[in-house]
Amino acid sequence: MHHGYYIPEDRTDHQQAQIDLIDEVLKWGDVKSAKNVVDVGCGISGSSRHIAKKYNCKAQGITLSPYQAQRGNELAKEQGLADQTSFQVADALDMPFDDNSFDLVWSLESGEHMPDKTQFVKELCRVAAPGGRILLVTWVTRDLEEGETGLTKKEEKLLAKINRAYYLPRWVSTQDYVAVFKQQGVKDIKTEDWSYVIAPFWKAVIKSSLNLKSVVGLFKSGFSTIRGAYAMFLMLKGYKMGLIKFGLITCTKPGTATD
């Protein structure tokens, strides 16, 4: 599951909103075609299967979850995409791919899980082909204002609660990501904050869970799941106070694309 594209903001077709987010990110990143794609942090492969169908291209995905990789391959087979796509267990900080392999490197809402953001960006850049595009969509903190040396204690306290619930490492800002990308020598870096685009998402998730069946299932599932559900309210609070941002970053790897 990932965020949806809520324009107009009152839309209630939540599954289509998630599909639309993929298409709108691709449009924003000026991706008109692709031949060989990697989905870094693919989950059960929803994004990569959609991209493979959209561009009639090859797509590979990596995840740390054996279940997700297996389910992704099952869904690909069911949808007639087994020849175009494959999903495997692998570490995004040490990807099992050669240098310069993919003309589109895609990562949707996975960066926040990476314990070493610098190594994560280095790997995204390494596997991108010359002239290839990198598209990173991830949760980030707000950029610091001039004169600030860090987030406020109140902001850090809220993030710490979210991190405990979702087992996340320390967050970074879009500014931090851009600095690392610049160190890798990429070009045409573009960023945007789409917090306003996905704003209704958390309200929709919370609303959908407020029924008897969901509440009973929640309490049966145990403390960690209950804590994760509570963290939805913390995420909503973080977005409202401007601490949490939904960041888009794209760039291209120097060089000329080859067939």
**Which among 36, 197, 201 is positioned nearest to 104, based on CA atoms?**
36
- Residue 207: per-residue pLDDT: 67
Count Cβ neighbours within 10 Å for each residue of 183-215 and write b for 16 or more, e otherwise. ebebeeeebbebbebbbbbbebbeeeeeeeeee
Q: For residue 188, is it left (φ>0), alpha (ψ between -120 and 50) or beta?
A: left
Q: Is the pLDDT of residue 224 over 90?
A: no
How sure is the predictor about 215, in pLDDT bands with cuts at 50, 70 and 90? very low
Q: Is the pLDDT of residue 36 over 90?
A: yes
Looking at residues 43-71, what average pLDDT do you find? 97
Looking at residues 126-136, what average pLDDT do you find? 98
- Residue 112: per-residue pLDDT: 96
- Residue 14: per-residue pLDDT: 87
Surface-to-core class of residue 126, CB atoms within 10 Å of its CB (0-12 exposed, 13-18 middle, 19+ buried): middle
**Which among 206, 175, 208, 203 is positioned nearest to 189, based on CA atoms?**
175
How sure is the predictor about 256, in pLDDT bands with cuts at 50, 70 and 90? confident
Surface-to-core class of residue 36, CB atoms within 10 Å of its CB (0-12 exposed, 13-18 middle, 19+ buried): middle
Residues 218, 25: Cα–Cα separation, whole Å: 33
- Residue 233: per-residue pLDDT: 87
- Average pLDDT taken over every residue of the chain: 91
Q: Is the pLDDT of residue 39 over 90?
A: yes
- Tell me the three state secondary structure of residue 111: helix
Q: Is the pLDDT of residue 232 over 90?
A: no
How sure is the predictor about 12, in pLDDT bands with cuts at 50, 70 and 90? confident
Residues 237, 245: Cα–Cα separation, whole Å: 12
Q: Check residues 235 and 248 and name the one with the higher pLDDT.
A: 248
Residues 102, 90: Cα–Cα separation, whole Å: 16
- Residue 217: per-residue pLDDT: 55
Q: Which two tokens stand for residue 90?
A: 């692998």
Q: Check residues 210 and 145 and name the one with the higher pLDDT.
A: 145
Q: Is the pLDDT of residue 210 over 60?
A: no
Q: Which two tokens stand for residue 151?
A: 């987030």
What are the start-end ranges of the H helices in 10-169?
A: 14-28, 46-55, 66-78, 117-127, 153-166
Q: Are 235 and 244 in contact (CB under 8 A)?
A: yes
pTM, two decimal places: 0.91
- Residue 218: per-residue pLDDT: 42
Q: Which residues contact 241 (CB under 8 A, 6 or more apart)?
A: 155, 158
Q: Is the pLDDT of residue 201 over 90?
A: no
The CATH class for the domain spanning 14-41+92-252 reads alpha beta
168, HSE (Cβ side, Cα atoms, 13 Å): 23
- Residue 220: per-residue pLDDT: 55
Q: Is the pLDDT of residue 133 over 70?
A: yes
- Residue 255: per-residue pLDDT: 86
Q: Is the pLDDT of residue 199 over 90?
A: no
Task: Tell me the per-residue pLDDT of 105-125, one tens digit each, with 9 for 90 and over.
Answer: 999 999 999 999 999 999 999
CA dihedral 232, 49, 117, 114 (to 10 degrees): 50
Looking at residues 69-87, what average pLDDT do you find? 97
- Residue 204: per-residue pLDDT: 73
